[in-house]
């Protein structure tokens, strides 16, 4: 923090241009931080990082092209020295878990006061981990997704809201199989509906990833 060390180089990834720019403005107020790249899609993160060589990347989870978790994983392998701080709207347990598994160093929800963001960045840059304690507890409580791969896939496809026949067609499965998977998912989520099951799974962040 003594004035003459080079500033921390930041990459910002968020699909909403306005908040992206606003975050850039916010972070640029800090003397020791410098925004060196901004992207609006997950699949542009690695390329931009290669060009600009940031110290810390702030990634949103909900992004077109590639979600922030996957982008974090890709970034970690491409530039292992670059730390990742996930900044997201939704504090879903599964998001946090998967972000950490993907190699993120920090996880911040957009509810947190603006002043804490710069500190989070500095902490992450210093090699520390930044996680909201309450969310961490919730994550432990929620546990890993009980859904099998196929069930997850079926549920994710069902999100669009089609009939069983549609799902069967889209997934190249029999209607009966689709119904079985859905039934299993409904049971495991404790829901009474397909719709409820989708909501539960979504809130827990179980519908992400491949």
Partner DNA sequence: CCAGGCCCCTGACAAATGTCACGGTCGGGA
Partner DNA sequence: TCCCGACCGTGACATTTGTCAGGGGCCTGG
Q: Which of residues 120-179 bind its own copies (CB under 8 A)?
A: 160-163
Residues whose CB falls within 8 Å of the CB of residue 105, separated by 6 or more in sequence, listed in order = 83, 84, 85, 124, 127, 128, 129, 130
1 binds its own copies (CB under 8 A): no
The piece of 23-31, 121-129, 137-145, 191-199 that touches DNA (CB under 7 A) is 191-199
Spatial separation of the C-alpha atoms in residues 171 and 158, rounded to whole Å: 10
- Does 25 sit near its own copies (CB under 8 A)? yes
Choose the binding region for DNA from 48-56, 63-71, 74-82, 175-183 (rule: CB under 7 A).
175-183
Distance (Å, whole) CA 150 – CA 176: 14
How would DSSP label each residue in 61-112? SS-SSS-HHHHHHHHHHH-TTSEEEEEES---HHHHHHHHHTT-SEEEETTS
Nearer to DNA, 34 or 177 (CB): 177
Give the residue, chosen from 20, 98, 123, 125, that forms a contact with its own copies under the rule CB under 8 A: 20
- What residue 70 binds from its own copies, DNA, none (CB within 5 to 8 A, per partner kind)? none
**107 DSSP β-pair partners:** 86, 131
Residues that bind DNA (CB under 7 A): 148-151, 163-165, 172-177, 179-183, 186-187, 192-195
């Amino acid at each position: 923090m003594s004035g003459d060390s080079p500033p921390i180089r930041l990459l910002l990834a968020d699909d909403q241009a306005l908040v992206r720019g606003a975050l850039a403005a916010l972070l640029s107020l800090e003397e020791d931080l410098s925004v060196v790249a901004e992207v609006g899609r997950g699949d542009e993160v690695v390329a931009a990082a290669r060009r600009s060589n940031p110290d810390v990347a702030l990634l949103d989870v909900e992004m077109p092209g590639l979600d922030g978790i996957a982008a974090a994983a890709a970034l970690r392998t491409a530039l292992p020295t670059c730390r990742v701080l996930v900044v997201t709207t939704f504090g879903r347990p599964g998001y946090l878990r998967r972000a950490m598994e993907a190699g993120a160093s920090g996880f911040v929800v957009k509810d947190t006061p603006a002043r804490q963001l710069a500190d989070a960045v500095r902490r992450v840059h210093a090699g520390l981990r930044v996680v909201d304690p309450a969310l961490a507890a919730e994550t432990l409580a929620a546990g890993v997704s009980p859904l099998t791969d196929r069930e997850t896939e079926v549920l994710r496809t069902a999100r669009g809201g089609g009939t069983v026949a549609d799902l069967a067609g889209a997934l190249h499965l029999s209607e009966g199989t689709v119904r079985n998977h859905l039934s299993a998912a409904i049971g495991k989520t404790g829901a009474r509906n397909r719709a409820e099951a989708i909501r539960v799974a979504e809130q827990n962040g179980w519908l992400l990833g491949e």
